[in-house]
Chain A
Amino acid sequence: MNPLDLINLTNTGVFIIFVGTAGIILLSKPLDKIIMFSLLQGGFVLVLAAARYLDVAMAAALFDPISTIILLMAVMRINDIRAGRREEIA
């Protein structure tokens, strides 16, 4: 059996998904977590394409950046609020 047969869309996508999961769970800073979350979403789109659900892959590719942007804006906003409160206390 050719070892290159192991590199197909499903295996690559599942590998990327697990790398993203390990990153999300183990990294501690929220910004690093968001970067690893986009890795997880990229792997998910890859698995959807491997299943030949290209319409669902299109919807996922449309919705994923939206939730990434929402998370980024929330993290920046919460950092601002916490910095302001720390200044108030000091």
Chain B
Amino acid sequence: MLETQIWFYSGAILVILGSLATARGPGVRDPIVRILNTEVAAVGVSLIFLTYNHTLALLTFIAATSIMTLILLRAVIRLEEMGVEE
């Protein structure tokens, strides 16, 4: 029982910390830094899924997060090549 509470509260803390760092973290002008801070919130959501025993949701979310990272980074690289930044 105690383990479940540890997972849930760590997940909640991770979600809060990750979203705050994504919005106003140090060095967040760089898009890569912002995407990496998003991953913290993703791990927090996965821990909350783990608390409620949603195995299928957990599997899908882990797979979707890595694919989402791939697509976002492709878009960032393309924007950087075109010189849209700054």
Measured CB to CB, the residues of A under 8 A from B are 10-11, 14, 17-18, 21, 24-26, 28, 30, 33-34, 37, 40-41, 44, 47-48, 50-51, 53, 55-56, 59-60, 63-64, 66-67, 70-71, 74-75, 77-78, 81-82, 85
- Chain A residues whose CB sits within 8 angstroms of the CB of B58 once the complex forms: 53, 56
- In the bound complex, what is the Cα–Cα distance between A54 and B40 (angstroms)? 22
**Chief secondary structure at chain A's binding surface:** helix
- In the bound complex, what is the Cα–Cα distance between A81 and B79 (angstroms)? 11
Count CB-based A-B contacts (< 8 Å).
Answer: 103
B43 touches A30 (CB 8 A): no
A56 interface neighbour in B14, B17, B39, B55, Cβ under 8 Å: B55
B14 touches A21 (CB 8 A): yes
- Chain B residues whose CB sits within 8 angstroms of the CB of A26 once the complex forms: 26
Measured CB to CB, the residues of B under 8 A from A are 3, 6-7, 10, 14, 17-18, 21, 25-27, 30, 32-33, 35-37, 39-40, 43, 46-47, 50, 55, 58-59, 62-63, 65-66, 69-70, 73, 76-77, 80-81, 83
